[in-house]
C-alpha cells in the first residue's frame, strides 16, 4: 500500500478518535445531579491577577453525591475562587467557612434534565459533523491520488469503503455514548 495512503488513513483515524474523545470530555462536564470535580475544575478564577483554572489553585474533592469541597492552596484566594464558581452560573449553591468552599448541587428538575439531554444530543451532532469532515478530507486526498493515477479506480473504491466503515464504527460508539449519557441524565 502506498505510504501516503497509510499516512492519510492514520490521520483520519486519529481525527475520528479526537472527535470522539472530545465528545466524551464534554459529556463529563454535563451535570447529572451528582457532584463531579470535572464540572468546576476548568472554571477560570482570579488568582493573583491571572485567570487560572480552579484545578491549578485548589484541591477539589467529592464529599458526597451532591457536594464538592474546594480547598484552596492559599486561603487568601478563597473569596476570588468562590466568586468564580458563582459567576459560572451552574445552578449550584456555594458557601465557605473561611478555609474551604462547599459547592452543593441541588437535585435536577425534570425541565433541567430535558435541557441537559438536548445539550447531549447537540454535542453528539457536533462530533458527527467533525467526523464527517474528517472523512471528506481523507477522501479528498484519495480522489486527488486517483486523479493523478497514483492509485487505481478499484483501490479508490476499496479505500472509500474502508473509510466509511471506520466512520460508521466511530459514529456507533458516539451514539452509544450519547444514549448512555441521556439515560444517566434522566435517571432520578
pLDDT value of position 1:
64
What is the grid cell recorded at 181?
A: 449519557
What is d(CA 33, CA 187) in angstroms, rounded to the nearest whole number? 9
Structural domains in the chain, sorted by start: 3-29+109-186 (1.10.132.20), 37-104 (3.30.1360.40)
C-alpha Rg value of the chain to the nearest Å: 22
3-state secondary structure 122-178: HHHHHHHHHHHHHHHHHHHHHHHHHHCCCCCHHHHHHHHHHHHHHHHHHHHHHHHHH
What is d(CA 139, CA 134) in angstroms, rounded to the nearest whole number? 9
What is d(CA 16, CA 185) in angstroms, rounded to the nearest whole number? 25
Of 50, 66, 135, whose CA–CA distance to 106 is shortest?
66
- On whether the CB atoms of residues 120 and 185 are closer than 8 A, the answer is yes
Q: Residue-wise pLDDT tens for the chain (188 aa)? A: 688 889 999 999 999 999 999 999 888 877 676 778 888 888 888 888 889 898 889 999 998 888 999 999 988 888 999 988 888 877 788 999 989 999 988 888 888 889 889 999 999 999 999 999 999 999 999 999 999 989 999 999 999 999 999 999 999 999 999 999 999 888 86
What is d(CA 24, CA 18) in angstroms, rounded to the nearest whole number? 10
Amino acid at each position: 500500500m502506498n505510504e501516503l495512503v497509510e499516512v492519510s488513513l492514520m490521520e483520519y483515524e486519529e481525527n475520528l478518535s479526537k472527535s470522539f474523545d472530545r465528545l466524551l470530555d464534554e459529556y463529563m462536564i454535563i451535570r447529572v445531579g451528582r457532584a463531579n470535580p470535572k464540572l468546576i475544575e476548568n472554571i477560570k478564577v482570579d488568582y493573583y491577577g491571572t485567570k487560572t483554572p480552579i484545578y491549578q489553585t485548589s484541591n477539589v474533592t467529592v464529599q458526597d453525591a451532591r457536594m464538592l469541597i474546594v480547598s484552596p492552596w492559599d486561603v487568601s484566594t478563597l473569596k476570588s475562587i468562590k466568586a468564580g464558581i458563582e459567576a459560572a452560573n451552574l445552578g449550584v449553591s456555594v458557601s465557605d467557612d473561611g478555609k474551604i468552599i462547599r459547592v452543593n448541587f441541588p437535585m435536577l428538575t425534570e425541565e433541567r434534565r430535558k435541557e441537559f439531554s438536548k445539550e447531549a444530543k447537540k454535542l453528539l451532532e457536533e462530533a458527527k459533523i467533525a467526523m464527517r469532515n474528517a472523512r471528506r478530507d481523507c477522501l479528498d486526498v484519495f480522489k486527488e491520488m486517483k486523479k493523478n493515477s497514483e492509485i487505481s479506480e478499484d483501490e479508490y473504491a476499496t479505500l472509500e469503503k474502508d473509510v466509511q466503515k471506520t466512520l460508521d464504527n466511530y459514529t456507533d460508539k458516539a451514539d452509544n455514548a450519547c444514549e448512555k449519557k441521556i439515560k444517566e441524565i434522566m435517571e432520578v
